[in-house]
Copies of this chain bind each other. A is one copy, B any other.
């Protein structure tokens, strides 16, 4: 997995590089979404389409929701999209950015060569651009619909709150860094499945589908980079640090797939939906509802590569 760079280097024997990451670093200029022209979002907006799939609204089949006016339901769907974007932006800023920043500084002292450092720094540019893309998408929804829908009314992403709690309880800065790397790894390797929730469905707003599709294209490359970097760091760790990293992966997977209704609660309150809290409580306790879980196949593959698939304490089934 760890290979020498394809180009001769001044100290090719001493620095850690990776052929996979080297290839991705070399074609960033051509493949990264940030390097493309900005799409004309206004042209793509279709007022007749849904801003967010009802399949992702946990109370879409509940009577309280079904009997709301068409306008209120449309507004709640628009809120669903705003909240989806806020979740992506929160994760980019507070999970992915700090995790990549640690790698860029070689905080784990892997003796990283320039090609890995460049690839990680390119990914950080992409991530900052994804935040901009999702902010633009929310701003367009607000402008085209004429509704305020300010994400500042919404709580910080539940995943980010979980990460903050884990960081605060870490025994030292070394454990905190390993946990930060683990959360970033989970985010980068499984975000594509979260983005895929906005299906390529004719009913859904074309701008929103385009935003997610463009973001996702970058993330397939980031998943490769994150997977490779996690493996390189893992191989350099002692057994105690490996345990901390694996516990962080398990914690991260749990955090990313936990149901967090605090955002919907804030939205329903904002819109003054009568019976909203009761509806959320009923949906939350209704075991029949299918959970929207993340796809952790990528993390499982990573664990298999590291030969720790059974050590991590996760029921993969």
Contacts and interface: CB of A to CB of B under 8 A. Distances in A.
Interface stretch (A68-76, A145-153, A165-173, A277-285): A145-153
Given A10-B142, A35-B35, A147-B10, A128 B124 contact: yes
Contacts of A29: 37-38
A231 interface: no
Given A128-B125, A135-B118, A146 B37 contact: no
B146 A10 contact: yes
A112 B129 CA distance: 20
A143 interface: yes
**Number of identical monomers bound together in the oligomeric complex:** 2
Interface in A1-31: 7, 9-11, 28-29
A19 B317 CA distance: 55
Interface string A270-298: 00000000000000000000000000000
Interface string A129-164: 101100110110011011110001000000000000
Contacts of A37: 29, 35
B124 A131 contact: yes
- Residue among A10, A38, A122, A148 having the largest count of chain B Cβ atoms under 10 Å: A10
Interface of A: 7, 9-11, 28-29, 34-35, 37-38, 93, 101, 106, 114, 117-118, 121-122, 124-125, 127-129, 131-132, 135-136, 138-139, 142-143, 145-148, 152
10 contacts: A10-B148, A93-B101, A106-B152, A114-B139, A114-B143, A118-B132, A118-B139, A124-B128, A127-B128, A128-B128
